[in-house]
Chains A and B, each alone.
Chain A
């Protein structure tokens, strides 16, 4: 559970932000909409009845529509007469006849006046007597009616088309036939010289968009190719398709309003009717207006697919495409951060190594979805502090949620571009490629708000969360976070609307998401392990990943037994020899280790000491450690010759290990009475001889190959035995490379020099004190950095030699 703590905190904070603080960021906060959803629908019905269409029993759908251009215009000219006539945030209501093909679309301004009213199809159905066009003008223009003048329609104008104009402010076009109104549209007439460029059309975001699009296309082709070649298990595309179907189903079930709403990257809400498999779908709001301006309504037929293409299909397809392409690019040279993706693409979808990062990513995605809101709140707070200094002149658009979707292809691009870039030979080329990718990512994020600073802040927070996820987990977690953030964006938009009905839909969608994420977390925490098969690039990695709970308990118990057996193989207490003190310890880096020490009596009465280190780590090393211990005990029973003992061990190890594993060993034999010490070194670290009386510290390094590396003949040829004479106060230290190669956090090695210095500071101390001083010094150096290798030390201290020997 521990590794999920951080994502869980982010998710909780994010959901809290969304649920508690979102209302402050809704677009109506400044350009207020006093009506609620029910009021808007009621008003639309009244108006429709007045215009001669009996829509009392028709189905109604409503959403808020923000006109970005109008919003920018009114922010710039707050005193313009248009401010009285228009409001940038309006209600879009669609009334549709149950089972029939007729529908009425109404756009209601903040004060309840209509801005658009349209009956579709124009000629169908029997309609009761309508109202006069002058009455319509009154309804639409409200108190400004006196300012409207009939406009000259010219010769070609159809009969029944009338137009009024409020110069420089607004135009009203009414279409009527046979005394009944078919449509009426009030449009703003912007002052000359006002132009509105949405940021999305700027060059930089355009470039970013092209990169994202091209990146997606390339990635998708690569992913399909990888599938075709069998690099990716069939379960993966099947799983993506299944997830897509399930997700769509859940979204439809969970949010009635979701069906009528499409969230597109332009940030506005476009209202659409999805009339149960009918092609009679009407559009309201910006899109319909744009379509009408171009004279056609032909975009309507695709809208039934629209709600799923944008927020549902795209994240899944993008995730699949980039994961597949990245895997294909990185194939055979995967880094640790890619293993979970590899497992996923091999079809081991339900293994813990896969579901854990996905769960963490999904949790964080909830938090990331709240980032634009958090940033907006930050800026609103700043605005209050600085008293309307214009930090945030316009209300936060829902565009703020766009970066989350833009981030998916951008980071995905990074995901497969990085391993690809890694293949580039030249360093500058690699750096240039990665810089380009980074720039694309930032540019995609930069249009979150219509101001640069909040955009960058939102981007930075999002990036920070993604980066932390990457550090803690891997690429897969980041991809999952991005997809979830985008999926959460839809309910978040619904939640940001002030009307209660829509908010319910948002909550239901969030609940579905939360249930999905909870299921993933459950899998992540309790899911089974992918078999740590040899087919993984690095078996040691697989074994170091946490197994499932029951398995882990069993393994833990077994490891505990193994650890105890190993400790039991080490001498329980140092021998007692007059005039000498001995102290030894062995701390494995993992539960079981490959280090070994032994103190034993040789047949000729001398005291033998050996320290050995088996190559490699973990269980294989531990097994050979026990083998070596057995060989040592067996040969030291009937031989007092160090060279012979080492040769025997080499002989057997060479036969047993086939050179795959080797053992290094340092061995000494002390004659207590005389202080003569014989030593040999089989590929092991040198022996330290501290001579306080002379003030010198020597490293003794007679030649000798490691045990089990080569046949006995060659081993014997290189092995040298040497001898030294101990004096009172001398110390001899045998150690393993776990000490000298220990590193601190900045990857500095402890090294021989620090070891020698530590030993020099222990003159006059007992063996026990010397050993603990060395280990203390080592611990002080590494300062908590995890041990990479087993640490073994044996210290012999000469208190004073028997008199006759001196």
Chain B
């Protein structure tokens, strides 16, 4: 199987955007886990995961989201998910992700959500 998976990292308005690409399965999940762990360790807890390029997610990939969400919340941040393609969204929905994560249509929406929240706090 062509396990093509890559993560592109960028920053917008002090929000970290991790754009996922390809297959997120048991083989590639450690890569994703490492990427989020790095953000968390560096104290950057305002994270947007852009799933526009994500074509498949397995339970191991979902587990990565789960394993960080509470730590990130505790640190005053959030993980927001955006631009999910329908097939992947179905998987998120089945597992109940919309209950736990904010899922937004576009990256701009997600980043704006963060900056608005920051604005309110200020």
Contact = CB atoms under 8 A, between A and B. Distances in A.
Q: Do A and B come from one complex?
A: yes
Interface of A: 336, 537-541, 613-617, 658-662, 664, 683-686, 701, 703-706, 709-710, 714, 718, 737, 741, 747, 749, 788-789
Question: Which of B87, B94, B100 has the most C-beta atoms of chain A within 10 angstroms of its own C-beta?
Answer: B94
Contacts of B26: 540, 616-617
Interface string B46-89: 00000000001011101100110110000000000000000100
A239 B43 CA distance: 43
A261 to B, nearest CB: 47
Contacts of A686: 94
B99 A705 contact: yes
Contacts of B67: 658-660
Closest 8 CB pairs of A and B: A615-B59, A705-B96, A683-B95, A615-B63, A616-B60, A617-B26, A659-B67, A718-B99
A741 B94 CA distance: 13
Nearest to A539: B30
A683 B2 CA distance: 28
A749 B2 CA distance: 15
A684 B94 contact: yes
Contacts, number: 74
A701 to B, nearest CB: 7
B86 to A, nearest CB: 12
Contact of A537 (B30, B62, B91): B30
A483 to B, nearest CB: 28
Contacts of A705: 95-96, 99-100
B59 A664 contact: yes
Contacts of A684: 94
B72 to A, nearest CB: 12
A539 B29 CA distance: 11
A644 B61 CA distance: 28
B96 A706 contact: yes
Contact of B100 (A539, A660, A709, A741): A709
A483 B62 CA distance: 44
Contacts of A749: 87
Contacts of A789: 58
A661 B70 CA distance: 14
A703 B98 CA distance: 10
A683 B94 contact: yes
A106 B122 CA distance: 95
A538 B30 contact: yes
Contacts of A788: 1, 25
Given A540-B27, A737-B91, A741-B56, 9 more contacts: A540-B26, A685-B94, A703-B96, A705-B96, A705-B99, A705-B100, A706-B66, A709-B95, A710-B100
B66 A659 contact: yes
Contacts of B100: 705, 709-710, 714
A741 B87 CA distance: 11
Contacts of B27: 538, 540-541
Contact of A615 (B1, B2, B62): B62
A47 to B, nearest CB: 68
Nearest to A658: B67
Interface of B: 1-3, 25-27, 30, 56, 58-60, 62-63, 66-67, 69-70, 87, 91, 94-96, 99-100
A623 B2 CA distance: 28
Given A538-B27, A705-B100, A662 B94 contact: no
A616 B63 contact: yes
A24 B96 CA distance: 73
A665 to B, nearest CB: 11
Contact of A613 (B2, B25, B59): B59
B48 to A, nearest CB: 19
A789 B57 CA distance: 13
A659 to B, nearest CB: 5
Contacts of B70: 659, 710
15 contacts: A538-B30, A541-B27, A615-B62, A616-B26, A660-B63, A662-B63, A705-B96, A709-B66, A709-B95, A714-B100, A737-B59, A741-B58, A747-B2, A788-B25, A789-B58
B84 to A, nearest CB: 16
Question: Which of B25, B27, B30, B96 has the most C-beta atoms of chain A within 10 angstroms of its own C-beta?
Answer: B96
A705 B66 CA distance: 11
A662 B58 contact: no
B60 A615 contact: yes
B60 A718 contact: no
A78 B2 CA distance: 58
Contacts of A538: 27, 30
Contacts of B99: 703, 705, 714, 718
Nearest to B96: A705
Contacts of A704: 96
Given A538-B30, A616-B26, A789-B58, A664 B95 contact: yes
Nearest to B23: A747
A661 B63 contact: yes
Contacts of B59: 613-616, 662, 664, 737
Contacts of B69: 659
B17 to A, nearest CB: 15
Contacts of A659: 63, 66-67, 69-70
Nearest to B59: A615
B32 to A, nearest CB: 12
Contacts of B96: 683, 703-706, 709, 718
A171 to B, nearest CB: 66
A615 B33 CA distance: 15
Contacts of A685: 94
B67 to A, nearest CB: 5
B5 to A, nearest CB: 10
Nearest to A705: B96
A705 B58 CA distance: 16
A330 to B, nearest CB: 14
Contacts of B25: 788
B79 to A, nearest CB: 13
Nearest to A422: B6
A4 to B, nearest CB: 23
A541 B27 CA distance: 8
A541 B95 CA distance: 27
Nearest to A537: B30
A196 to B, nearest CB: 49
Question: Which of A616, A686, A788, A789 has the most C-beta atoms of chain B within 10 angstroms of its own C-beta?
Answer: A616
A538 B62 CA distance: 17
Contacts of A737: 59, 91
A648 to B, nearest CB: 18
Contacts of B30: 537-539
B66 A662 contact: yes
A659 B70 CA distance: 9
A788 B60 CA distance: 13
